[in-house]
A and B are shown apart, each in its own frame.
Chain A
Amino acid sequence: QVQLVQSGAEVKKPGASVKVSCKASGYTFTGYYMHWVRQAPGQGLEWMGRINPNSGGTNYAQKFQGRVTMTRDTSISTAYMELSRLRSDDTAVYYCARFIAARSAQHFDYWGQGTLVTVSS
C-alpha cells in the first residue's frame, strides 16, 4: 500500500534552516509528482511547490521563491523540502503529498502524516 512517512518534529531558531524528508513506499516513486503543503496553527492549507522525482525539476509558489529548495533521492524513494531563513510565521505542520495528474483528474491522493516545525527563539 502507498505510504508517505515524514521525518519528525523540529524546533529551530529564527534565521536557521530546516530540512524535512518524505519517504515513499508502495508505488513507483518516479512516477508521480510530490508536492509540499503547509498549515500554520489553526489556519488553512498553503501550497509551497512541487518536484518531479523523475527529472528533479521543481516549481515553487512565488511566496517561497528564494527560500525553499525541493530535492529528491531516487535511490531511497525520498523527497526533501528545505526552508531557509526561518521566521516565527513559518511555524506550521508541513505535509508532503502525492499528486495524481491525469486527463480527468488532478488532485492529491496520498499525504504524509505531517511534520511540525516550530520556529522560536
Chain B
Amino acid sequence: QLQLQESGPGLVRPSETLSLTCTVSGGPISSSNHYWGWFRQPPGEALEWIGVIHYSGSTYYNPSLKSRVTISGDTSKKQFSLNLNSVTAADTAVYYCARIDSSTSGSYYMDVWGKGTTVTVSS
C-alpha cells in the first residue's frame, strides 16, 4: 500500500534553512487527483498546515509561512521536498508529509501520512 517517508536533518541552526524530503512508495506520485503536503506539530501543540504541491507543479502555502516556504517535487524520484528558511526555535516540531485526496464532493482531506520526523532548531 502507499507509504510516505520523511527524511532530513534532525538539527538545524537558527537563521538557517530547514530541508526535508518525502519519498513516496507503493503508489504513483503523478496523480491528477492528489496533492502532496507538509504539516508540522510543535511539542505539545496542534497540527499546522505548511503547504501542498500537485504533480503539475502547482503549489499552495499557509499564508503565515508563505514568505519562508518553498515546496518542490521530483516525480522521477517520487519525492517532494520542503524548504523553510530563516528558522527560529519556534520552528521546532515534528514534520509530517501526507497525501491529500479528494472526494466526489470536491472536498480534500489527508488520507495517508508519513511517520513524521523531529526537527530541532538550536545552536
Co-assembled chains A and B: no
B residues adjacent to A (C-beta < 8 A): none
